[in-house]
Amino acid sequence: MAPSLTLFFSLFTAFLSSSLQPLASSSPFNHPPRFPATAKLPWAQVRVNEAQAPEYRYETRYFSQQLDHFSFLELPTFQQRYLINTEYWVGPQRLGPIFFYCGNEGDIVWFAENTGFVWEIAPQFGAMVVFPEHRYYGESMPFGSREEAYKNATTLSYLTAEQALADFSVLVTDLKQNLSATDCPVVLFGGSYGGMLAAWMRLKYPHIAIGALAASAPILQFEDIVPQETFYDIVSNDFKRESSTCFNYIKESWNNIASIGQTLNGLVQLSNTFHFCRPLNKTADLWNWLEDAYGYLAMVDYPYPASFMMPLPGHPIKEVCKRIDGQLAGTSVLERIYDGVNVYYNYTGETKCFELDDDPHGLSGWNWQACTEMVMPMSCDPDSCMFPPYKFNYSDYEEGCISSYGVKPRPKWITTEFGGHKIDATLKKFGSNLIFSNGLLDPWSGGSVLQNISESVVALVTEEGAHHLDLRASTKYDPDWLVEQRATEIKLIKGWITEYHEKNKAMFDM
C-alpha cells in the first residue's frame, strides 16, 4: 500500500522533462524535481467520502531513535512514530508472531489504512501488528519539525534507507525485549519502496525477521540491472492494450503541447484547456502533470474502484481511454487528453479547477532519496513508449540534484550495499522466506523479482495485478486470482512460522 514508487515515477518525469530536450520543443524545461500533482483532494476528504474506508484499531506510540546509527556524532535523537495493535497477539509464551510493516515514504497512518491485508490476517495468526513510520515522513521528523528536517542538505542527510532499516531493527528489538518476547518471530511486510525495505531487511537483518512479503518492490531498478526502458514501456503497454488509438493520441499530445506552449498566449490557452486555477508558468509543468497521471494510473490500474492515490473507478485506464477515444470527430487531441485525465484527477467531478504541486500524503522526501541513493535510470524509447523520448543521462541527473539540493547522488551505492546484480545467485544462496509479489500491469514490476529463485524465495506474479494490490483489504470485488494470491501468501507465511516454531520446540526439547 505504498505509493512510494509513485514518487520515483514523479521524480523521473521531472528529470525527464527538465534535463532533456523534448522532441519538438525548445522550451527551457528546467525545474527541480517535484512531487505528485495529486491535485486538490486531500486524503482526509477522500476518506470521508469513501463508504468502504476501513477502521483499524491501534495505539500510537513514539520511540526515541538515533539520528545516525552508523556514526557517533553528537546529534539530537528523534521520535519515531509507530502504530501498534496487540489485541490479537497470543503473547510471548505461545511465541505469537509480530507482523511488522516497513513504513515507506509517507504518513504511516495512510499506509496502515491502505494495508488491510496485514490487519485482516493478524487474528488468524494471533499476531501483533506494528506499523513503524519511516524517518522524515509523517510525524517522525528529526530536528523537531518537518520544516527543520527538510531545511537543507545537512538536515536531510540522514534520510537514507540504511538508517530507516536500522530504525526498524532497533525498534523491534527494543519492543521485543520490553515485552519479554525476544523469541517471537517477526514477519515483515512492505509495498513499493516499503517492499524494498522489507526484502533488504530480511537480507541484512536475518537474525531479526524470519521472512518478508515484499510487494511490488523494484529492488532491481538500479544501474543497468534491468533495461532502462522497462518502466515506461509497461506504462505505455497498459494504455496500448486498452486501445492503440488512445496510446497514439497520448503520444501525439506532447508535441501539440510544446507547440502551443511556444506561441504567444500559448500557456494561457493550455491553462484554459486543462482547467488550471492559475496560468501555467511553463509547458513542462503540464507535461509533468500528465505524466504523473499516466504513471499513477498504470500503478493503480486495479480491477475495482479504489482510492489509494485518488478515488478511481475499476480498470481506470480503460476508462481514460474510453474518454480519449470516444469524443466526437473533430475534437482536438488536447481536449481528448483533458477529458481522459479527468478520470484520474477528478473522478468525483467535484474539482472545478486544478492546482499543481499538491502533496497531500507528504511524500516529497522521496525526491531527496532519489537524489542520493535511489538513482533509478529510466529511459523512454521512441518506438515503444508513449511519453516524450528520453535517454537517461547521468550527468544531467546529477546536475539536477546538485542544483536542487546541493547533493551529489551515489548511483552505485544501493547495489554495493544491498546487491542486485546476479540477484538469482545471491538470493538462491543467502535468501529464504521471501515473497516477491507483483502485478504485471504495475510499471514497477519490471524492476522486481518475477521468477521463483528457490523453494523459499518465491515470486507471485499476477497478470492483471497492479501496484501491491495484494496488500490492500479484501473487497467483494476481488477477482479469483487475487483471492488465490493472498491465500498463497498466507500459506507461505504460515509455513515460515510453523518452521520457526518447530525449530524452537526442537531447541527447547534438547
User: Applying CB under 8 A, which residues contact a copy of itself?
Assistant: 66, 68-74, 153-154, 156-158, 160, 162-163, 166, 169-170, 173, 182, 203-208, 372, 406-407, 410, 412-413, 416-422, 425-426, 429-430, 432, 503, 507
Of 407 and 461, nearer to a copy of itself (C-beta) is 407
> Least Å distance between CB 391 and a copy of itself?
22
Q: Give Cα separations from 39 to 2, 47, 77, 97 (angstroms).
A: 18, 16, 35, 40
> For the chain, what's the residue count?
510
> Least Å distance between CB 178 and a copy of itself?
13
> Least Å distance between CB 410 and a copy of itself?
7
Q: Which three cell numbers stand for residue 7?
A: 514518487
Taking the chain, what is the end-to-end CA distance rounded to the nearest angstrom? 42
Of 278 and 412, nearer to a copy of itself (C-beta) is 412
> Least Å distance between CB 407 and a copy of itself?
5
Q: Which three cell numbers stand for residue 224?
A: 543497468
230: region left, alpha or beta (phi > 0 left; psi from -120 to 50 alpha): alpha
3-state secondary structure of 88: coil
Of 173 and 474, nearer to a copy of itself (C-beta) is 173
Active site residues: 192, 442, 467
> Least Å distance between CB 372 and a copy of itself?
5
* Residue tagged 495468526 (cell numbers): 125
Give the Cα separation of 68 and 73 in Å (integer). 8
> Least Å distance between CB 217 and a copy of itself?
17
State the sign of the Cα–Cα–Cα–Cα dihedral 370, 373, 379, 385. Answer: negative
Would you say 492 and 468 are in contact if contact means Cβ atoms under 8 Å apart? no
Would you say 381 and 233 are in contact if contact means Cβ atoms under 8 Å apart? yes
Of 154 and 395, nearer to a copy of itself (C-beta) is 154
Give the Cα separation of 39 and 1 in Å (integer). 20
Distance, C-alpha 38 to centroid of its chain: 14
> Least Å distance between CB 184 and a copy of itself?
13
Would you say 471 and 489 are in contact if contact means Cβ atoms under 8 Å apart? no
Provide the H-helix boundaries in 150-243: 153-156, 161-178, 193-204, 230-240
The amino acid occupying position 92 is P
> Least Å distance between CB 212 and a copy of itself?
13
Of 94 and 422, nearer to a copy of itself (C-beta) is 422
> Least Å distance between CB 492 and a copy of itself?
16
Of 51 and 72, nearer to a copy of itself (C-beta) is 72
Give the Cα separation of 78 and 63 in Å (integer). 8
φ and ψ of 93, to 5 deg: -60, -40
3-state secondary structure of 36: coil
- Beta strand ranges found along 409-485 (DSSP E): 434-439, 457-462
Q: Which three cell numbers stand for residue 464?
A: 492483471
Would you say 26 and 52 are in contact if contact means Cβ atoms under 8 Å apart? no
Of 133 and 373, nearer to a copy of itself (C-beta) is 373
* Residue tagged 507483483 (cell numbers): 438
Of 16 and 217, nearer to a copy of itself (C-beta) is 217
Give the Cα separation of 108 and 336 in Å (integer). 37
Of 321 and 401, nearer to a copy of itself (C-beta) is 401
Would you say 121 and 96 are in contact if contact means Cβ atoms under 8 Å apart? no
